[in-house]
Amino acid sequence: MTFDPVANLQLLVSGLAIGSIYALVALGFVLIYNAVGVVNFAQGDFVMFPSYVAISFLLPSITIFGTIVHWQLPLLLVYAVVLVLMIGFGLLFTRIAYYPLRDRGWMPVVISTIGVSIFLRNAAQLVWGSQPQVMPSPFPVQTIALGPLQVRPQDLLIIGVTALLIAFQYFLFERTTLGKQMRATAQDRDAARLIGIRVGRIVTITFVYSVLLGTISGLLVAPIFTITKEMGALIALKAFAASIVGGFGSIPGAIIGGLAIGVIETFGGFYISTAYVDAIAFVILIVVLVVRPQGLFGERVGEKA
Partner 1 sequence: MSRRRWLGLAVLLIVLLCVPLVVHSDYLLNVADIAGIYAIAVLGLGILLGFAGQLSLAQAAFFGIGAYASGYMTVHWGWPVLPSMAVATVFSGLIGLGLGWPCLRLSGHYLALATIGFGIITQLVLINWTSVTNGSDGMTGIPPPMIGPFALATYGQYYYLVLASLVLCAYVAWRIKSTRPGRALQAIRENELAASTTGIDPTRYKIVAFVLAGAYAGLAGALLAHSIKFLSPDSYSFDQSVIFLVMLIVGGSGSIGGAILGAVLLTFLPEALRPLKTSYIMVYGAAVIAMIIFMPRGLAGLLSAALGRDDAAAARPLTNPAQPVEAKSA
Residues lying near partner 1 in the complex (CB under 8 A): 33-34, 36-39, 41, 96-97, 100-101, 104-108, 110-112, 114-123, 125-126, 185-189, 233, 237, 240-241, 244, 248-251, 275-276, 278-279, 281-283, 285-286, 289-290, 293, 299, 301-305
SS3 130: coil
Q: Which is nearer to partner 1, 151 or 288 (CB)?
A: 288
Q: Long-range CB contacts (< 8 A, 24+ apart) of 86-93?
A: 86/46, 86/49, 86/50, 86/53, 86/211, 86/212, 86/215, 87/208, 87/211, 87/212, 89/49, 89/211, 90/207, 90/208, 90/209, 90/210, 90/211, 90/212, 91/204, 91/208, 93/42, 93/207, 93/211
What is the smallest separation between the CB atom of 270 and partner 1, expressed in angstroms?
A: 17
What is the smallest separation between the CB atom of 3 and partner 1, expressed in angstroms?
A: 28
Q: Which is nearer to partner 1, 41 or 79 (CB)?
A: 41
Q: Which is nearer to partner 1, 171 or 276 (CB)?
A: 276
Q: Which is nearer to partner 1, 45 or 155 (CB)?
A: 45
CA atoms within 13 A on the CB side of 84: 6
What is the smallest separation between the CB atom of 167 and partner 1, expressed in angstroms?
A: 19
What is the smallest separation between the CB atom of 286 and partner 1, expressed in angstroms?
A: 5
Q: How far apart are CA 134 and CA 228, in angstroms?
A: 9
Closest-CA residue to 49 (of 139, 137, 138, 118):
118
Q: How far apart are CA 267 and CA 61, in angstroms?
A: 37
What is the smallest separation between the CB atom of 182 and partner 1, expressed in angstroms?
A: 12
What is the smallest separation between the CB atom of 295 and partner 1, expressed in angstroms?
A: 10
Contacts of 143 (CB under 8 A, 6+ apart): 150, 151, 152, 153
End-to-end Cα, the chain, rounded Å: 51
What is the smallest separation between the CB atom of 19 and partner 1, expressed in angstroms?
A: 18
Q: Which is nearer to partner 1, 139 or 270 (CB)?
A: 270
Q: Which is nearer to partner 1, 147 or 302 (CB)?
A: 302
What is the smallest separation between the CB atom of 304 and partner 1, expressed in angstroms?
A: 5
Q: Which is nearer to partner 1, 41 or 57 (CB)?
A: 41
Torsion of CA 160, 164, 167, 169, to 10 degrees: -130
Q: Which is nearer to partner 1, 193 or 267 (CB)?
A: 193
Q: How far apart are CA 200 and CA 207, in angstroms?
A: 11
202 touches 185 (CB < 8 A): yes
Residue 84 CA from chain centroid, whole number: 17
